[in-house]
Amino acid sequence: MRIVLVGPPGAGKGTQAALLAKTLSIPHVSTGDLFRANISQGTELGKLAKSIMDEGKLVPDEVTIAMVRDRLHQQDAENGFLLDGFPRNTAQAVALDGILKDFGIALDGVLDLEVPEDEVVRRIAGRRLCRNDSAHIFHVLYNPPKTEGVCDVCGGELYQRSDDSEETVRTRLEVYHTETEPIIEYYAKQGLVTTIPALGKVDEVTERAIAALRENAND
């Protein structure tokens, strides 16, 4: 399956993507995680992305699209992928169509996670991530680790993202409304979008997501 996951910052895309990727046996491709890996490795791309991400703005399309093109050329993406955080504007959506066309493939669906703004703010405020693997996501209240500051999965150190400050979150939400929401309409015109409420327990949302993807596949 080739799926795009869309939703505001803090909606639970990374949390759901990790679970869905496992269930569907496809790689989870998160542009945010790819940028964060580049930042921690100190690459040129990481140096470019860091200050832009800390402001809550979008990394330029050329570099983002090139990074995704490279990632989708890797062998593990041959039979499907779950894109999280890409595309993030119409230009990226058009570019993705081009990349997939070159492969002779198309998207199977776009899953839109709907969460009210006050809840995304609460989710982001309490989020903690594992330094070893950003797929290991916790929340101080909603999904607390067994030992404070320590990842349950691998024992790694938990940290708070530098772009999770109140001011940056405000910008990220604005960017989401102006730049990213239009892609929902773009994909809706292609009959690809299923919107699911992403409130409730993590596993309830996963069940809703899997049911929506199955229904979409049977259409």
Q: What residues line the site for Mg ion (CB under 5 A)?
A: 14
Q: How far apart are CA 12 and CA 217, in angstroms?
A: 22
71 interacts with ligand AP5 by CB under 6 A: no
Q: Are strands 158-159 and 127-130 parallel, antiparallel or unpaired?
A: antiparallel
User: Which residues have CB under 8 Å from 7's CB, separation 6+?
Assistant: 13, 112, 113, 114, 115, 198
Pair of tokens at residue 183:
């892609």
Phi/psi at 157 (nearest 5 deg)? -80, 135
Closest approach of Cβ 218 to ligand AP5, in Å? 26
Nearest to 90 by CA among 190, 185, 161: 185
Active-site pick, 88, 123, 128, 208:
88
Does the annotation list 31 as a binding residue? Answer: yes
Residue 27 partner contact from ligand AP5, Mg ion, none using kind-dependent CB cut-offs of 5 to 8 Å = none
50 interacts with ligand AP5 by CB under 6 A: no
Closest approach of Cβ 12 to Mg ion, in Å? 8
Catalytic residues: 13, 88, 127, 161, 172
Where on the chain is the footprint of ligand AP5 (CB under 6 A)? Answer: 7, 9-15, 31-32, 35, 52-53, 56-59, 64, 85-86, 88, 92, 123-124, 126-127, 137-139, 142-143, 163, 172, 200-202, 205
